[in-house]
C-alpha cells in the first residue's frame, strides 16, 4: 500500500492525474481503484477474492442504498456507469486470480477454488459490508448512506441519526445470585408458517409481586437501562402498561442496528411482554424476491440469517434483564 501511495505522489508530481477514489456524481461512492488500493486480504489470492466480493457489495449499495426512490436521471446514470465499472474490474481481478493460481477459466480446479473462497467472503462474512463502509466511504458517502438507511452516524452515549432519534440501550448483567433464573428464561426465537416472529407475546409469572409493584419495577428498569429514559417511553398508562422504543447497534460501526418496541402489561403476579420489529425477517421470504438474481438472493438470505442471530441474542438479553428486575427479589441496601 505504501508503494502504491508513493507511485501516486510521483504521478501527481509529473503532472499525471491519479485514479479517482470517489464518484462525486453519486455522493462520493468509492471507485474500483479505491477498492484495489485499500481492500487487502492475507495474500494475493485472498486479496483478489476479497476485492471482488467488495465490488459486489458496492454494486448492491449503489443500486439500493444511495438514493431515494425514485432516483433522478443523473443518479440513475451514475449508478449504471459505476456498476459497469465495478463489473469490468471484477472480471480483470478474476483473470489475475486465474493467472496467479495457474488455472485457466474453464478448468474445474480454478473454478472450484474460486467458488470456495468466494463463498467464505460472500456468505460467511456478515460484517464485510460494514468493513467496506468504514474503510472506503468518506464523510459525505457515509452521511448519505446513513441518511437513506436511517442508521446512526455515531455509536456512543450521544448517538444521533439523520432520520430518526435513536435510543441507545445498555443491558445490565445478571448477578451470580440470579444466574439460575436467567438460564431458565432463555428464549428460542423463530418464525411461524406466516413468517411472523415467535414467541410473541410472552407471559412471565411473578409470584407474590403485585400489579402496582410490577409497574413500578418496570419504570426502575427503564431508568437503569436507557440513557434517556423519558425519550424511550412512547406510551404510559400508570399501573397498566408501558410501551418503549429503542434502537440497538449490532456491531461496533453502528451500520447494523435493531429497532424495536416493547410493550409491558401488568396483572397481579404476572406480566405480558409484546414486542415488534420489522427488520427481523424469515430468510425464506426472500426466496421468491424477483428484484434480485438468485446469487444475490442467496447472499441476502445469508446476511438476513446472520442479522437475525445477532438480533435474537440482543432480544433474549434484554428480556432476561426485564425479567430479572420485575420478578427478582427486591434488595434494599441499608449500609449506605
Enumerate the domain spans of the chain: 2-149, 176-327
What pLDDT does 286 receive? 62
Lowest mean pLDDT among 11-15, 27-31, 34-38, 256-260: 11-15
Q: How far is CA 283 from CA 298, 301, 305, 316, in A?
A: 9, 5, 6, 20
Global pTM value: 0.50
Would you list the DSSP string of 145-158? Answer: HHHHHT--S--STT
* The CATH fold of domain 176-327: Alpha-D-Glucose-1,6-Bisphosphate; Chain A, domain 4 (3.30.530)
Per-residue pLDDT of 177-224, as tens digits, reads 433 333 344 788 888 888 888 898 999 999 999 999 999 999 999 999
Closest CA to 171 of 322, 331, 327: 322
Phi first, then psi, for residue 19 (nearest 5°) are -55, 140
The answer, yes or no, to whether residue 312 has pLDDT greater than 50, is: yes
pLDDT above 90 covers what percent of the chain? 18
DSSP state of 177: G
Q: Please give the mean pLDDT across all residues of the chain.
A: 75
Residue given cell 456507469 in the structure block: 81
Q: How confident is the model at residue 301 (pLDDT cuts 50, 70, 90)?
A: confident
Residues 134/284, Cβ–Cβ less than 8 Å? no
What pLDDT does 69 receive? 61
Residues 39/136, Cβ–Cβ less than 8 Å? yes
What pLDDT does 43 receive? 86
Distance (Å, whole) CA 218 – CA 13: 66
Per-residue pLDDT of 148-167, as tens digits, reads 765 544 433 344 443 344 45
Closest CA to 114 of 58, 61, 51, 59: 51
Distance (Å, whole) CA 61 – CA 299: 13
Amino acid at each position: 500500500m505504501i508503494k502504491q501511495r508513493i507511485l501516486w505522489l510521483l504521478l501527481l508530481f509529473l503532472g499525471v492525474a491519479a485514479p479517482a477514489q470517489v464518484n462525486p456524481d453519486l455522493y462520493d461512492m468509492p471507485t474500483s481503484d479505491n477498492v484495489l488500493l485499500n481492500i487487502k486480504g492475507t495474500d494475493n489470492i485472498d486479496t483478489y477474492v476479497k476485492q471482488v466480493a467488495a465490488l459486489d457489495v458496492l454494486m448492491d449499495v449503489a443500486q439500493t442504498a444511495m438514493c431515494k426512490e425514485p432516483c433522478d436521471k443523473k443518479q440513475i446514470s451514475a449508478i449504471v456507469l459505476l456498476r459497469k465499472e465495478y463489473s469490468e474490474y471484477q472480471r480483470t481481478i478474476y483473470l489475475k486470480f486465474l493467472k496467479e493460481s495457474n488455472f485457466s477459466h474453464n478448468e474445474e480446479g480454478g473454478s472450484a477454488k474460486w467458488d470456495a473462497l468466494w463463498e467464505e467472503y460472500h456468505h460467511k462474512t456478515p460484517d464485510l459490508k460494514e468493513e467496506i463502509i468504514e474503510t472506503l466511504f468518506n464523510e459525505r458517502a457515509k452521511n448519505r448512506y446513513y441518511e437513506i438507511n436511517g442508521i446512526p452516524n455515531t455509536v456512543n452515549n450521544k448517538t444521533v441519526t439523520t432520520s430518526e432519534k435513536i435510543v441507545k440501550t445498555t443491558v445490565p448483567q445478571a448477578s451470580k445470585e440470579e444466574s439460575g433464573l436467567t438460564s431458565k428464561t432463555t428464549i428460542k426465537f423463530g418464525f411461524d408458517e406466516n413468517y411472523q416472529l415467535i414467541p410473541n407475546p410472552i407471559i412471565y409469572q411473578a409470584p407474590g409481586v403485585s400489579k402496582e409493584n410490577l409497574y413500578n419495577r418496570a419504570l426502575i428498569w427503564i431508568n437503569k437501562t436507557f440513557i434517556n429514559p423519558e425519550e424511550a417511553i412512547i406510551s404510559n398508562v400508570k399501573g397498566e402498561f408501558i410501551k418503549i422504543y429503542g434502537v440497538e447497534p449490532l456491531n461496533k460501526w453502528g451500520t447494523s442496528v435493531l429497532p424495536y418496541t416493547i410493550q409491558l402489561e401488568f396483572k397481579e403476579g404476572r406480566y405480558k411482554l409484546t414486542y415488534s420489529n420489522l427488520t427481523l425477517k424469515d430468510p425464506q421470504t426472500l426466496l421468491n424476491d424477483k428484484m434480485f438474481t438468485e446469487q444475490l438472493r442467496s447472499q441476502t438470505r445469508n446476511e438476513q440469517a446472520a442479522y437475525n442471530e445477532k438480533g435474537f441474542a440482543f432480544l433474549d438479553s434484554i428480556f432476561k434483564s426485564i425479567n430479572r428486575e420485575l420478578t427478582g427479589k427486591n434488595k434494599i441496601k441499608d449500609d449506605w
